[in-house]
Structure 1
Amino acid sequence: MSFGIDVNILLYASDRSSPWHEKASAFLQRCAAGSEVFCIAWVTAQSYLRMATHGSIFAQPLSADEAAGNVEALLALPHCRALWEDEGFWEVYR
């Protein structure tokens, strides 16, 4: 079985002021440590980058490099699948 990661999980895990931060962060840590395949769609990655770096959404927004690094850390996992439009999409978008 596999599943997709929702942008809200990524946002809550990155926002220490969120009441859902601990649960979202623990969930992503379990995903990273596990072996079950999970997917990140291009629209999820794009939405995360846009919102996590926006000052009116996060009291302390991430830098573009921090947000991209979070996505890249997940994409580097052997059991994470990227649902992109084309091979090399992330590199071009980044």
Structure 2
Amino acid sequence: MNIDLAFMSASGFSIDSGFTVGNIYECELKRKVVKRAQKVILLMDTSKINKNLPFTYATLDDIDIWVCEKPLTDELMQEISRYNTRVV
């Protein structure tokens, strides 16, 4: 499977757990997609920040662009700046 551009979503996110989902099969598929994609764009609104679900499929290091509906907190932006993730 060769993927140029992957658009992903997540059910939850935290600095410690990364991007999470509630279903193991969804997690396994998303891990494979993220691993094979040349570029990963995450579409996730801020209501999911600091929500942890059981299965992590990606970390900030795996995401190239994070698209959200409003600015993130300064604390979170500082953490994100340690990675190559761009926030839009």
Instruction: Please tell me the TM-score bracket, short chain as reference.
Output: 0.3 to 0.5
**More relative contact order in 1 or in 2 (CA 8 Å, sep 6+)?**
2
More helix by share: 1
TM-score where L is the length of structure 1: 0.42
Q: TM-score, normalised by structure 2?
A: 0.44
User: Which of the pair has more CA radius of gyration?
Assistant: 1
